[in-house]
Amino acid sequence: MTDQATTPSTAPAVDLSLEDAGALAPLVAPQTAAQRLAEGAVLVDVRSDAGRATTGSIPGAHVVDRYRVDETFDLAAAARLEPVVSLDTPIVVVCGSVRGSGPVAAALRAKGYTDVVHVEGGAPAWAEAGLPVERATGTA
């Protein structure tokens, strides 16, 4: 996992239906997200430290605090997420649910990013689909 220095996010989740979340940015199934990653998309994990500890980390994910999206995705900023090189960089956002990933994906689209999706069912659905998850030693 690629980690930036993070602090626990206290960003509130937004109460969204799947229809509402899909209106913010396209929702994709975990398998589709994994295929996008295999084709070069950047995986952005906006879960809290506790969320990742509970459900495991996704290998290769870039951990981003939801409160730092503006600076992390500012192409001119020194602190930007390095693999994001243009507004056309394909990005997959994952959280614990679409309530967390939807607002982040929408914020990226509002910043001008053209190829942003988020994972339907979030990290739990990713794990349930049998996709790679790294669990901390001593957890089930």
By annotation, the residues acting in catalysis are 95
Confidence category of residue 11, pLDDT binned at 50, 70, 90: very low
Q: Is residue 62 part of a domain?
A: yes
Q: Provide the number of structural domains found in the chain.
A: 1
Q: Which domain holds residue 71?
A: 17-128
Residue 95 CA, distance from chain mean position? 6
Q: Do the domain assignments include residue 3?
A: no
Question: Distance (Å, rounded) from C-alpha 92 to C-alpha 115?
Answer: 9
Q: Which of 88, 131, 116, 129 is nearest to 22 (CA)?
A: 116
Residues 12 and 7: their CA atoms lie apart, in Å, by 15
Q: Is residue 57 included in any domain, yes or no?
A: yes
Domain assignment of residue 133, yes or no: no
CATH number at residue 41: 3.40.250.10
Q: Is the pLDDT reported for residue 53 higher than 70?
A: yes
Give residue-wise pLDDT tens across range 14-39: 555 555 555 678 999 999 999 999 99
Q: What is the residue whose two structure tokens read 């509970």?
A: 54
